[in-house]
Each structure stands twice: as C-alpha cells, then as structure tokens.
Chain A
Amino acid sequence: MESQSDASTVSLTKSGPDRATGLKRKNGVARNHVKKDRGGGQSVRRQGFKLWMLIVPFIILSLIFSYLPLFGWVYAFFDYQPPIPLSESKFVGLQWFKMLVQNPAQLHTIAQVLINTFAMSGLGILTSIFPLFFAIGLNEIRTRWFKNLVQTLTTLPNFISWVLVYSVAFAMFSSTGMINQLLENLRLIAEPVKFLDSDSWTWIKMLLWSLWKGLGWGSIMYLASISGIDQELYEAAQVDGANRWQQILHVTVPQLMPTYMVLLMLSVSNFLNNGMDQYFVFQNAFNLKHIQVLDLYVYNIGMGNNSLSLATAISMLKSLVSVVLLISVNAISKRTRGESII
C-alpha cells in the first residue's frame, strides 16, 4: 500500500516539470528525437514507414475505386455473354472497337451522342454563373423569414432523386397532366401539348430541369463566401457613396470570383460526367436522339441491349476523350498562365 502511493508520488513529481511549462516539454521531445536519431537511419526509416502507413488507407481506397475498376476493360477484348464466366469467354481482340467504326450509321450515332454530351455539359457550364447571381439576390433580401423560406425551397429539390422528379414532371406535363388539363379547360389548346414525348428543345428542357434542381444547392457555396467578405469593404464603398447596386458590382462580384473560378474548374473537369439518371428517366422513343449522352448510351448498349463487351469498349472512349480534354486544357493553361500540371 505504502510503496504504491510512493510510486505514484514519484511519478507525479517526475512528470511535474514537464507539465508545468511548454518549453521544458518541448525540450523533452527534442531530446527524444535526438536520442532516436542517434540510433541510425533505421529509426528514420521506421518513422517514415509509420507516416506512410497513415496514407495507406487512402492509397488502398484510390486503388480500389479508381484503378481496380480499370481491370474491367478486359471485357472489351472478350466475347462476354453472361452467364458464361469471363474465364470461359472467347478472346476477340479488337473486334468490338472495329465494330464501333464499321459503318457510317454507327459513327453517326456515336457522333450524335458526343454532341449531346458536349452540348449538355457546355450548357451546364454556361449557366454555372446562375447560382452566383441567385446567391447575390438572396443575400440582398432583408426580410429574414422570406430569405430563409426561399433558400429552403430552392435547396430542397437537390435532395429529391431524379426518379421522383420525373414522376412530378409526369404528373404535371404528361398529355393528361395538370398543365395540359388546365390549358384545355381554359380552351387555350385543342389537343394536349407533348411536353415530355417530343424531341423539340430537348437540351433546353433538360437544362431547365437540372437548373431547377441544382440552383439553390449551387448557391450555398456563394452564400458562404458572401458572409466571409470583409464588411469594411462595404463600409468603405458606402463612404465613397456607392449605392447598393454599385456595392454588388464592385465589391460582392469581384470578391466571389475566386470561388466561382474554382467551381468552374471543377465542373470543367467533370465535363463528361454529366451523369445518366436524369437522362435515363426522361428518355423515350421520341427524344432519344438528343437526350442520349455518353453515360446513358453506354448503359443502353450494355444493359438495354445486353452487349456488355461493346459497352465497355464505348466507355473506354470516355477515358480517351477525357485525356484529350486534359491535354488541351493543360496546353491552354500553359500558354496563358505559364502553369501546367503535366
């Protein structure tokens, strides 16, 4: 009993000075380092190894999710027909790639798909300034409850899945939907307007849907940066006699530009990833020509037509286009800003 309490006081007194001042503790740590280093390169290596171990989980994750899937490319070189496993499938070399270019009609389809992809992503990038304007507008609303209401209502659609968005769209815009019924009852139209099953303005319609869904969400980042703008800038502007409009133009917008540029870069890098769920739910026989983006085309070929090998070959096209995009953006960056990543 006694000896135990003795030991505890000893340990307390020992650690006492260390705790008392940061300086001493620092010294202690430094001493430790020196001690270890004297042990030779082995301990440095061990330390390095430990630090390396810290990033191992992330390396493994990126291997699993970014590099391991590339193994799936081998399917493009086999005649894979489920349920026969790959190991028993026939190796066909470049057959599927040849098939992609074998006739003008096929090439034409692929060209159309790429045009759709570029058009929809392009429109998305062109309109990426909208959330910025929306955020500024929202920020100018002085009535707090109204501002919150608008923000909540515009952010909510982001959390609705595309399938549900489509069912809302269907309820409103189908040939017997709300809008058509309303127009018919008002005797404005004689027969229902085909909002969903026609191929007119497909790109614009899709753009509007994604704007409706993403506007509020996209403006959150800008609202955050607006609240981070130094109030002194506004005060200085007011002293200089700037009105509200001039404050927006000369303080808010320039201050938001860095954020905008970052988000723009991110969306450019996601150029080909315009997803497929939106287009998948909205596609039908009538608008397929202009709604089929690369991801959807791959899905339709692979899952819809059961040609998994060909779909793999086409999806490799995506990587090819991405590499071309990367190289060209890099070249532009090199020329204009003198910086490059490769």
Chain B
Amino acid sequence: MVGTLQRNVGASVTLRLFFAAGWRSHMALFRWMRPSAFFPTVIGVPTVQLIWFVYLGHYVGTHPVAYYAVGNALHACAIAGLFAPAMSIQGERFSGTLTAVLATPARRSVMFLGRVVPAVLIGFLTSVVMLALGVVVADVELPWARLPQLVGAVLVTTASCCAFGLLIGAIGLRTREAILIANLTSYLMLLVCGVNVPLESLPDWLQVVGRLMPMTHGIQAAREVLAGTTGAGGLMLLEFLKALVYLGIALVVLRVLEQNSRRHAVLDEM
C-alpha cells in the first residue's frame, strides 16, 4: 500500500489547498480569531475608532460627520486585512511549523494566496458592520440602488489591504516584526489614504505616498458611489490593480526568502 497517495494533481486538490488549507492556517495562526480577542479587537477597535473620529470631526466641523464615518468604516477592514495575513505567515515561524510546511510539495503561490481569502472575508464583514454603525451614528445614507457598486468598492479595498498584509507577513518571516509594521501601516493609512483628511489637503509627496498605499482609491470609490457621482468604476479597477501588484511582490518575496533559507538556513532559528 506504500506510495499510493503521493501523486495527486488536479483542480480539486488545488482548490482544497487554496480554500480549506488557507482557512485552517488562518484559524491556526491568526491569534485574534478566538472570541475573547475577536470582539474587542476586530470589531471593538474599529467601533471606538469610528466613534472617536466622528466625535472629533463633529467638533472640528470642516466636513459632514458622514465623511469621517465612511472613511473609518472602510479603514475598519485593515484590522483583519493587515494583521491576519501577517500573523498567518509570520506565525509559522513562532509555532515551529515552518520547516514542516516547507517540506511539503504544496504549491507555494496557491498555499499563501489561500491565506488571504479568510482575511478578505472578515475584513469585508467588519467594514459592512461599521458602515451600518455609520448609518446609525453619523447619518450615512446608503443608496439602495447602487448597493452592488458599494459592495464592490468595499471588497476591492479589503482585497488590496489583505494583499499588503501578505507582503507584511513575508517581511515578518525575516524581521519578526510583522505586527509592528502592520500597526504602523494602519496608523499611516488614517492620515494618507483619505480616511480622515482629503488627499488634496496633504502636501504633494504625502499624496504620492497615499496613492501608492492600498485602500486610497477604494475609499474614494466608495465616496463616489455614496455621492452618486461617476468615476467609481475606474477607481475600483485601479485599486484592484494595486492589489494584484502587492500580491505579486509578496509572492516574489516569499519565494526569495524560501530559496535563501535553503541556502543559508536563515529562517530556522528564532
């Protein structure tokens, strides 16, 4: 019987590697999935963040409060989007499973991309819940007719954010500080991605940084959809392209790291 289970290829095997293994890795390594952490962090932090900025925005009075509610609702996906892929890649090293995983014949691109899917799902749901909160506390008006476009904008924003999270995780394999990078990125987004401050009021170089970061075009697209103006489609496409670029870079970095680790044994020791 030895040797009957070793040569399997085909769509179903690849799909399971992408979805089932991706989901299990996410559950195994995203520390905030347990309810005692999930509710205060993944749901709680965006809630207090949205309330704070709406409160601050109300006091400042430069934009309607709905502006801050929408920006922060979309930024809410960053908690799952940045931290989940980052932890699920970097966590392999902390749990000592990296060697075992790298000894499997699983296709790396499928395996790593599969870990982004649960993050996109959870990030998307967080943003949806926060938009609902925005409706309650900040008079955000949902255009029922354009709801599919709004869903598209939220989805593409989350995807782009998660792709960036994967890149952070890849860097974290080497530096061990993925969580710090994710934290810093999340705060930076509050400033440069049009969450609380319109891009146009920033100095030129910060605008450039903002446009290169994930999320910026997605948030703008969501604002356009809500305002009923045109141009959201192009922005969404742009955000989607950014997501693809980030995914590509992340996979290249992971590949280079794996090769280097075989050559110099750099990933083994803690």
Q: Are A and B part of the same complex?
A: no
Residues of B that sit less than 8 Å from A by CB: none
